[in-house]
Each structure stands twice: as structure tokens, then as C-alpha cells.
A and B are shown apart, each in its own frame.
Chain A
Amino acid sequence: MTLHRPTPSGPGPQKPLFDVAAVRAQFPILATLIHGKVPLHYLDNAATTQVPDYVLDAVRRHDATSRANVKRGVHTLAEMATDAYAAARTKMAQYLNAFDEREIIFTSGTTSAINLVANAFGATLAAGDEVIVSELEHHSNLVPWQLLKARAGIKLKAIPVTDEGRIDVAALPRLVTDRTRLIAVTHVSNVTGAITDVAAVVRAARSVGARVLLDGAQRASHGPLDVQALGVDFYAVSGHKMFGPSGVGALWGRGEILEVLPPFLGGGEMIRTVTLQESTWADVPARFEAGTPPITQAVGLGAAIDWMETIDNVAAAAHTAKLADRVLAGLRALGNRGVRVIGPANMERRVPVIAFAVDGAHPHDICQMLDSHGVALRGGHHCAQPFHERNNLAGTSRASLALYNTDADVDAFLNGLDDALSKLT
């Protein structure tokens, strides 16, 4: 594979200074009145972020002007759609700082990206080979490896979690062996918000010649990434968690690794030649994109990346960190009423995803009561059951912030929680 750096593709929207009111004005859904009367305070961004007009318009514009299937047509619309899809790939390659845009495979999301690796890379593993995950993983970075274990007899190991809710990388040197082929961990926890010490993971993996996969679902909305600097081998993201449409995501993989992997799904577009008995495979990324891809959604995701590039990331991160500090302080102040933060106590090496438990009150009841205040939270095990079981928790409630959140959202959350506690405990 020849390496050529993706080049920027035309101007995106204008880059204003970070102004939360101006940002909010671009998200029509944020003007919603819940139950027809209370303003929405959307604090469920770790589950799904909202979508700005710029993306909504791009999606509509694509389907209104350029809709066609990609690759297999020579007519004008087919070429426009193919170009738009290719441009989205270029944007994702830039956002992740891939070596080459052909290293970007569009998937339906993080889950399908990880399943792709578990099948294609998984096919190169032998019984007794080891995959190391962590106790903090989302089920989507756990179950695909359990399926591989059942299929291929690999050994599945898990890095423990510290009491602070971080992947305990100090345990890694004891876990890796010369049979370790992959360490697959989350870049940022969807429960504790902790950012993983990727350098330590890569070091441990390299010491035994293993590969590293990062689940980037929770990291992707917090500014551009650099997979080269991270030094990993696979990276998975979801469009709906980065201000883009649902139904699309991406897997980045190092070109030299992808090139020698067998396909996962078979079908149209992923072959070079097909006879009745056998086929040869197309080059990457087509080899891993069987069938019609999520074209419109990928175009929308490309627009989301353009939109994110209009944001001053440093200012946006400072803004959300300040709000998150208020959330953490507010939860701490409720400590005498049974409230406990599950995760790091301050904003060091973490994102504004904040889980908490309340003695004597169930997360669903808390979330339901907060909904009457217009506050959207999430409660349950957040698809991270092993972590909750380790901490003896049936579930937690979670407030997760994005750059369009405000002090008013934090106020509504803390007041609503106070109210819920007085009713429930």
C-alpha cells in the first residue's frame, strides 16, 4: 500500500470563537420543551450526541441532490454519491490522523467495527492465543471476544480496574505473555469517564509483539484524534456519538495489518472476481465493506467532522470541564445523602461522563424523576455489567456533558437530583 496523506477537501463552515449560546442555536432539538413545558437539559451525550443543523442539512442535501448507490454506476448521480462517500472517508482519515485514507472502513458503528476485527483479525488467531480486555469494557468490546473464544478457543483475560474506576495498566506486565495477540480496551470509559493510559497499554503489547485495539466511542466527540501518536493498531468510533447520524461508524486499522486480513462479511463490492465456487478479495477498504454501505449517513458523519472543526476544541474542553467540575462538586456535596461518584473525583485524565450511585434509590427512579425536570440522564449498567458487578452495584445513574451544555443544565440537574432524593430516600 502506498502511503499518501489525505488532503483537506474544501472549506467547512466558518470557525467562530467558542460561544455556547451560538453553538446551542445550531442544535434545533435543544429548544425542545419536555412534557410541553420544561426546557430540555440533555445530559445523555455518552449515549448519543445531538445533531447540528449543519449535519441535518448535509444529510438532506445529499439525499435531495446526490442520492445513488456508490461505486457501481457511471451515471452522474452515481458519481456524485461515490465522490461524496469518498470525501467522507477522507474527512474521517483526517480526523483520526490515519496514515492513509484507505485505512478507514465505514461500519454501522463501534460495535460492528469491533466485531469486524474480532472476525477478520480473529481468524488469524489460534487456540490458546490470548486476547486481553479490561473489566471496564462496554459489552461491545467484550462479547465479540467471547464469541471468538467459543469459536476459536482463544483465551480471554481481563485487566482489573482501580478503585478510582481506571483500567489498572500496572497489572499489564503480569498479564501479557508470548501468546498475547491483542489488547482490546476502551480509550475512554462510558461509565467512569476515565481516559486510559494508552501509552502503557501499547508498551505492554509491544513487549510481546501484540496488537492494540482502542474502543474510541466515548473519545471521538472530544476533539480530533491522532492514531499515529497513540501508536495503536485499530480504532473504532460511532457517528451518533460525534454529532453525526446513527447507523454509521468507522474502523481505522493500520494498512499493513488490514491488507493481509481475510474479509468478515461477504457480498457485493468486496470482491475482485467471483466464480461459483470461489472469489478473490478486493483491496482495502472495499474488502471490508460488503454490500451497500451507509452512504447518506457517512456523508452526514463527514459533515459532523467538518462541523467539529469549526469548534475551538481547547475552549470547548475548558467549558465542559468547568461544568463537569460543578457536577462533581454538587454530587460530592450530596455525599451525606448517600450519593457517591463512581469514577475519578476530579477532571484530571477524564472526560465529562459522570456516573453516580445513590444508596437506597434505584437509577431508573432517579432518571425518571429527573425527566420531570427536563433533565435527560441514563440509568442502569450502561452495557458494562462486569464493572458494576465488581463494584456491587445494580446500576448507576450517569450525567454526560457535551459542548452545548450550560450552567443552566447543571443547575437543573442538581436541583432535580435534590428533589428526587427527598422523594426517594
Chain B
Amino acid sequence: MIDALYQKDVMRLAASAKGAGKLPTPTATVTVDNPLCGDRVTFDVVMDADKRIQEVAHTVKGCVLCQASASVIGAEAKGETAESLNAVRDTLRGMLKSGATAPTDGKWAALVAFAPVSGHKSRHECVLLPFEAVIQAAKKP
């Protein structure tokens, strides 16, 4: 139910706004929109020679869930590749779809906070949108 959806962990993640802002010299910037609600997420990344994320920053015009998800990425995405982030997103999507609760190991464990979103299909996209943006940014040539 609702109180689970907005439990402390999610509120805290959103408020922490890890990685919020802009990078001075990003190697790629990607903005994605959620046409349903008008939410907009922009990710700046600096990629290293191995196509790993060296630096990451985001600006979110969106709900608490979207902000919290972007915040997890802001905290954890360094060192990841587009492929590895894709795998994280798949696990996250699986968790949202099936309601399974413990999808991710150590580094991405914070995503468990989104498990209660599973029962609210209309909100899945809010959590996934920042992943879409950062993956697209990491893929950009």
C-alpha cells in the first residue's frame, strides 16, 4: 500500500539527491521524457577509455520515485558500463513485474526500496526512466 510506496528509504533516497546537478564537460548528455506524466530526466556522463562511467550527474523533473531512482544511480553508477547497467535494469524490472524482493547484490541493494512499487503498474516507469536515460548516455558514441 501507499505507506510502503513512500517508505522512509525511498523518501531518504530522493532527498539525498546523490549526483544531482550537471557535469562541466560531459562526454554525453541524454534527456528522456515520460509522455504519460511529462516527467523529464537528464543524465550527463563522462566515459573512460574502457567505456565505463567515470562521472555521472542528473537533473530530474519528476516524482519522488523518479528522484530516488536517479539518486541510486548517482551514487552507484561509477565504473559501470551500458551493458552492466542494462543488467541492473533488467533485474529491477523483474522485481517490479513479479514482486520478487531481493533482486540485487551489495552495490545495488538500495533498489530493494522500490519493491513496494511492484503493485503499482502505473508507477513502474517512474523508477525505470532514470535507468533508460543513463544507459542511453553510456551507450552514446
Contacts and interface: CB of A to CB of B under 8 A. Distances in A.
A364 interface: yes
Interface in B33-47: 36-40
Nearest to B126: A364
Contacts of B40: 394
Interface stretch (B50-58, B59-67, B75-83, B97-105): B59-67
A394 B39 contact: yes
A339 to B, nearest CB: 17
Contacts of B2: 368-369, 371-372
B123 A362 contact: no
B103 to A, nearest CB: 22
Contacts of B36: 380
B64 A362 contact: yes
B38 A380 contact: yes
A395 B39 CA distance: 8
Nearest to B37: A380
Interface string A378-410: 011100010010000011000000000000000
Contacts of B3: 372
Contacts of A362: 39, 62-64, 66
Interface string A26-44: 0000000001000000000
Given A362-B62, A368-B123, A394-B61, A381 B38 contact: yes
B88 interface: no
A413 B93 CA distance: 33
Q: Identify the interface centre among A362, A363, A369, A371: most chain B CB within 10 Å of its CB.
A: A362
A423 interface: yes
B139 interface: no
B37 A381 contact: yes
A145 B17 CA distance: 41
Looking at chain B's contact residues, is the secondary structure mostly helix, strand, loop, or mixed? mixed
Interface residues of B, number: 20
A364 B120 CA distance: 12
Contacts of A424: 64
A368 B37 contact: no
A205 B36 CA distance: 34
Contact of A363 (B11, B37, B120): B37
Given A394-B39, A394-B62, A365 B1 contact: no
A379 B6 CA distance: 17
B5 A379 contact: no
Contact of B38 (A368, A372, A395, A423): A395
A305 B123 CA distance: 36
A369 B62 contact: no
A13 to B, nearest CB: 36
A365 B6 contact: yes
B39 A368 contact: no
Contact of A395 (B1, B37, B64, B66): B37
Given A369-B6, A394-B62, A423-B6, A364 B37 contact: yes
A372 B37 contact: no
Contacts of A369: 2, 6
A388 B63 contact: no
Contacts of A368: 2, 5-6, 120, 123
Contacts of B6: 365, 368-369, 423
A81 to B, nearest CB: 37
B69 to A, nearest CB: 13
Q: Identify the interface centre among B37, B62, B126: most chain A CB within 10 Å of its CB.
A: B37
Given A365-B6, A369-B2, A423-B6, A385 B38 contact: yes
A423 to B, nearest CB: 6
Q: Identify the interface centre among B1, B39, B61, B63: most chain A CB within 10 Å of its CB.
A: B63
A388 to B, nearest CB: 7
A35 B62 CA distance: 26
B38 A388 contact: yes
Contacts of B120: 368
Nearest to A393: B38
Interface string B1-44: 11101100001000000000000000000000000111110000
B63 A364 contact: yes
A364 B1 contact: no
Contacts of B123: 364, 368
Interface string B88-122: 00000000000000000000000000000000100
B37 A365 contact: no
Q: Which 6 A-B pairs have the closest CB atoms?
A: A372-B2, A362-B63, A364-B63, A380-B37, A381-B38, A365-B63
Given A363-B63, A369-B6, A380-B37, 4 more contacts: A362-B62, A365-B63, A365-B65, A381-B37
7 contacts: A363-B37, A363-B63, A364-B37, A368-B2, A368-B6, A395-B38, A424-B64
